[in-house]
Structure 1
Amino acid sequence: MPNDELLLRTSSHRNVADSSATITAGHAIVRALEKHGIPRVFVVPGESYLEILDGLRDSTIETVVCRHEGGAAYMAEAEGKLGELPGVVMVTRGPGAANAHVGIHTAWQDSTPVVLFVGLIPLNHRGREAFQEFDIRAWFESGAKRVLVLDSAERAAEVVAEAIFAASSGRPGPVIVGVPEDVLRQSIDRTEHPPIPRALGGMSGTDASILQSALSQSSKPLFVTGGNDWDTSTARDLTEWLERHGIAAAAEWRTEGVVGFDSPSYVGPIGYGRPRPTHDLLDETDLLIFVGTLPGDVLTNGFLARQDMYKTNFLVSIDPSLRGRSGAVSHQIMAKPSAFVRDLKSLSVEPRAQWREWTEKMRAQQVAFSEPPRPAYGDMCASMDNVMAALIPKLDPDAMVTFGAGEHTNWAHRYFPTRAFPSMLSSGNGSMGYSIPAAVAASLHYPGRQVVTIAGDGEFMMNGFELATAIQYGVAPLVIVMDNQEYGTIRTHQERHHPGRIAGTQLINPDFAALAVACGGYGARIETEDEVRPAVEQALCETKNGRFALLHLVVEQRRQAY
């Protein structure tokens, strides 16, 4: 087709789509996302959903163009953890959907609201092994709350409303929306579908009475917060209530910050690599109250802790299925965290001296454990301890941290001061490659807020080039890459199960600092302890001036044993 004829047809089509009476289904999807207040979408473009991209061009929604569908999905997942609305990601069919799947699995296991739009082949091409054809339901139904396919253009706004509702209601999670490219181009009447309200649940009078009675009989009550269904005011209100009553609170693995790092009620995180002070908390407490999450395998050491059937366990969850839990359930309160805390504030409970005594004991152990290490100097090999010693005193009060999976995350769990909710973003399912995309999403969601990323060398290489996205959208996280030239967590497992037989875990890495400079940021390579402090100070200066900074920390590798 001659270019001028193609241009004429496209122009004519847009005139119809943008007329006062009609709109294309693709543009209707964009309008519906606007109606629901979606601030941004993360995309890797594809020809299968050009009509949505065209609608985004003149939209109030920010379009964040990413470098890989996995990175885009992680950004949307992080966005879903940060606000009350789902994160939204858009990819093309086949390979694009496959690449995005890692973020969907993360959202499923982390209970994060995400909506993934996937461009699909035209309707009349189905079942003929068309270019990039795949079965969207077969691929996603086992790991998503819903899989919707827009087969009727007239339902575009309705499907968007349904997807956002499904992702956010009940136990949050990912929803997949398939959008065939020919359906997106169809013109429809301009219609709107209002947002669907979510049921928040709450404590009934019976719930309140049972909880009040359990508290009155308890000497060591423990709240455990977790999940990704919190907001700033709910976190603040729960913290104030716990402090007023002298009750202890622990955090689910990789969800620290609901009860602040400095709160006298905060006694530490529970999960893989948990500090010794919280190792036995689940069995020591005589009243366990999980809020927003459940005692799953990570928190209970493989479903082994808290197995005594006579223990008192309250689970505050809007999900009636309680999937993934361990141990006995004494009572379930069907409520999202915001509704539970709203009702908890009016609960008449007389504080007991035993509560505060036990909380103060556990709190003292947590404070000692999380005390930043002392600075070290000299020409010995650089260390993460020294980086944290240099970094922590210079952090803003509301600094955030992001990280993926690997042994490098232990320093964030132990030392990073999660003072203002939300302040920690990570992948609870242990998915690598999350750190940089999450940092980009956090920096976009909270402009001007200090964001620190801690990544391992293997983890960084999976989505590290999303730093180009950071430059493109003007965000400036501080990135620390701990380079030990190996997949350290797996090496540790090998040493445990196959001592002296190291295989498949060793790496040869590029110069990460040079990669940062190539992407347009600041990069510094650190090899000795003497180099740590000046590099950290310069990196923080760079980020405050609006440019991302990367510190390539070369640490000592354990000797190979073949």
Structure 2
Amino acid sequence: MANRGERHSGTGGALIVRALEELGAERVFCVPGESYLPVLDALHDASIPVTLCRQEGGAAMMADAWGKMTGKPGICMVTRGPGATNAAAGVHVAQQDSTPMILFVGQIETGMRGRDAFQEVDYVQVFGSIAKWVAEVEDAARIPEMIARAYATATSGRPGPVVLALPEDVLAEVAEVASLSAHQPLETHPSLAQMADLQKRLWAAKRPLAILGGSRWSEQARAAFARFAERFQLPVACSFRRQMLFDNLHENYAGDVGIGINPKLAARVREADLLLLVGGRMSEMPSQSYALLDIPRPGQTLVHVHAGAEELGRVYQADLPVNATPNGFCAALEAVQPPNACPWEGAAAEAHADYLAWSGARPKVPGALQMAQVMDWLEGNLPEDAILTNGAGNYATWVHRFHRFRRLNTQLAPTSGSMGYGLPAAVAGKLRYPEREVVCFAGDGCLQMTMQEFGTACQEKANIILVVVDNGMYGTIRMHQEREFPGRVSATTLVNPDFAALARAYGAHAETVERAEDFGPAFERARASGTPALLHLKLDPEAITPVRSLSEIRAG
């Protein structure tokens, strides 16, 4: 850490890299561009590793995944114009998923603004609705100030993305600036009165339920909430694509409140007389299109805990709104005492049994490749700390319903429903945790949004295992299409490459799997290959969901 009051000089490009080093940046994901060459030059001598990506959307998604895993801003650098607009997909993921991220974008010289210069873009207008803060650096002397503010903005309250534009002339400008100290995240805590109020409401409840979601969770917060749940015999659910926030085999775990929710869990949410919502927003997907809770005044007593004050009361009027981070709130739970007798005794065990039955069902689907058997093999052979990633599509249902997440930082999936996310996230996951197994699930349509980032995995020697679930279509859209317009297929059929051959062209291990019994041996060979690996699973197009075939959906 730099000494207080220490000053140094350099070009704008060098000052940006030094500021990132001082604030604690761990890695940069980028696609290069001539618009920010001084920054690339400064990275040559920096302590920060650089991952060269193939497309800006993939780079931004890797940065988002890094932010999810670390709680620190994932750093992404892209060039101006089309580079920036390509990166918007990852910025949107970070905004919807409440992930800290900073996108640095090359920009035209300040003297050319307003002339529609080559690749000129007004980034405030382009990113204004999906970033927490968008600004253009106009003075090299203010670079440390603006990057420190970017860190604070991206990580405080409800985390999210920040976009900083870097004009070419500012990057070449020389300035003398003060050094920065390492970034310290801001934690907010509940008051004693709020915790006393929570205890009073819990003592008056008959059917309480907790739902965990959002970001900013730590191992300590997760463990503290588990102890609280045990003391109160409280059923605990997790929000959409946040299953890793509570051990899925803990006796208090009730399941995930997401797409394809267990009907018994949905009923439990509706019938609860007290909902303790910690970290999440209960947005469209977990709320079942805003049907589980009345708006603006839920029928259940609502205790809503969120790090962003602006989210409290935004959709739901809480009976007890608490502006606190998961860390701050869960630490305070240690002082909350359970009643002498819990009227809901046995509810947690019942909810967990319902979850085990729901996630333990193994439906048979059309075709030789039974995904239930694939999931069974993975459940029996993956270590507890394995990281599973996915993008968007019906194929992800197999992971969300049938995999049991046991630890924090084992799930990387976009609540925004962004296709193409799984592969970039897997690369970032393997780079962050090289000792852990990282398995990416991707549908054939989803994968082809960012397939080029398999080259990034190979270049970085990030030995992920990519499981491609190929049914020759955009499956989710086809499912909706067949339900709304039976038999009228339009723009959802895919003519796919030989994914295994494509992976081998990158120098990776690859196999095609057409029967479930062949999956386990193929996975073991992928593990042993010493390279990134791809397993191409050929799924019958009729196997559109775990519970209904395409023909059944078409027939209504």
TM-score range, shorter chain: over 0.9
CA shift digits 1:455-480 (9 cap, x unpaired): 10000011112111111112111111
Q: 1:352/1:554 Cα in 2 relative to 1: closer, same or farther (>3 Å)?
A: farther
Partners of 2:358 and 2:298 lie apart in 1 by 32
Partners of 1:231 and 1:53 lie apart in 2 by 33
Report if aligned partners of 1:79, 1:86 keep a CA contact under 8 Å in 2.
yes
Match of 2:4 in 1: none
Q: Does 1:440 align with 2:427?
A: yes
Match of 1:207 in 2: 194
Q: Does 1:342 align with 2:331?
A: yes
Match of 1:41 in 2: 28
CA RMSD of the aligned region, Å?
2.1
Report if aligned partners of 2:367, 2:539 keep a CA contact under 8 Å in 1.
no
Partners of 2:484 and 2:363 lie apart in 1 by 34
DSSP-derived class of the 2:310 partner:
coil
- What is the correspondence of 1:400-479 to structure 2 with a 5 Å cutoff? 400-479=387-466
Report if aligned partners of 1:254, 1:413 keep a CA contact under 8 Å in 2.
yes
- What is the correspondence of 1:81-480 to structure 2 with a 5 Å cutoff? 81-195=68-182, 197-307=184-294, 309-322=298-311, 326-350=315-339, 352-371=341-360, 373=362, 381-480=368-467
Higher mean alpha-carbon deviation, 464-473 vs 483-492, is at 464-473
DSSP-derived class of the 1:315 partner:
strand
Match of 2:56 in 1: 69
DSSP-derived class of the 1:418 partner:
coil
Report if aligned partners of 2:232, 2:342 keep a CA contact under 8 Å in 1.
no
Report if aligned partners of 2:293, 2:299 keep a CA contact under 8 Å in 1.
no
DSSP-derived class of the 1:143 partner:
coil
DSSP-derived class of the 1:228 partner:
coil
Structure 1 residue 291: Cα displacement = 0.8
Report if aligned partners of 1:24, 1:185 keep a CA contact under 8 Å in 2.
yes
Higher mean alpha-carbon deviation, 37-46 vs 184-193, is at 184-193
CA shift digits 1:355-386 (9 cap, x unpaired): 3411100100111222274999xx95213222
Partners of 1:347 and 1:69 lie apart in 2 by 47
Structure 2 residue identity aligned to 1:203 = P
Match of 2:532 in 1: 548
Structure 1 residue 248: Cα displacement = 1.2
**Structure 1: gaps spanning 5 or more residues:** 1-19
DSSP-derived class of the 1:23 partner:
strand
Partners of 1:352 and 1:333 lie apart in 2 by 26
**Structure 2: gaps spanning 5 or more residues:** 1-6, 543-549
Structure 1 residue 325: Cα displacement = 5.4
- Alignment equivalent of 2:39, drawn from 49, 52, 57: 52
Structure 1 residue 240: Cα displacement = 2.4
Report if aligned partners of 1:232, 1:422 keep a CA contact under 8 Å in 2.
no
Structure 1 residue identity aligned to 2:323 = M
Q: Does 1:524 align with 2:508?
A: no
Partners of 1:160 and 1:333 lie apart in 2 by 30
Partners of 1:351 and 1:116 lie apart in 2 by 52
Match of 1:17 in 2: none
Structure 2 residue identity aligned to 1:360 = A
Report if aligned partners of 1:455, 1:482 keep a CA contact under 8 Å in 2.
yes
Structure 2 residue identity aligned to 1:226 = G
Q: How many residues align?
A: 538
Partners of 2:75 and 2:520 lie apart in 1 by 39
- Alignment equivalent of 1:513, drawn from 500, 507, 526: 500
Partners of 2:119 and 2:363 lie apart in 1 by 55
Partners of 2:420 and 2:340 lie apart in 1 by 45
Report if aligned partners of 2:255, 2:265 keep a CA contact under 8 Å in 1.
yes
Q: TM-score, normalised by structure 2?
A: 0.93
Structure 1 residue identity aligned to 2:539 = V
Q: TM-score, normalised by structure 1?
A: 0.92
Partners of 1:430 and 1:476 lie apart in 2 by 25
CA shift digits 1:148-191 (9 cap, x unpaired): 21101101111110101100011101100011111011111142
Report if aligned partners of 1:402, 1:452 keep a CA contact under 8 Å in 2.
yes
CA shift digits 1:322-378 (9 cap, x unpaired): 2795444211001010000011122223364443411100100111222274999xx
Q: 1:303/1:530 Cα in 2 relative to 1: closer, same or farther (>3 Å)?
A: closer
Partners of 1:280 and 1:93 lie apart in 2 by 49
Partners of 1:162 and 1:306 lie apart in 2 by 36
Structure 1 residue 21: Cα displacement = 5.3
Report if aligned partners of 1:41, 1:62 keep a CA contact under 8 Å in 2.
yes
CA shift digits 1:386-425 (9 cap, x unpaired): 2112222110121111000000110111122211101111
DSSP-derived class of the 1:38 partner:
coil
Higher mean alpha-carbon deviation, 411-420 vs 367-376, is at 367-376
Match of 1:14 in 2: none
Report if aligned partners of 1:382, 1:532 keep a CA contact under 8 Å in 2.
no
Structure 1 residue 536: Cα displacement = 2.4
Task: Calculate percent identity across the aligned residue pairs.
Answer: 38
Match of 1:12 in 2: none
- Alignment equivalent of 1:25, drawn from 9, 12, 21: 12
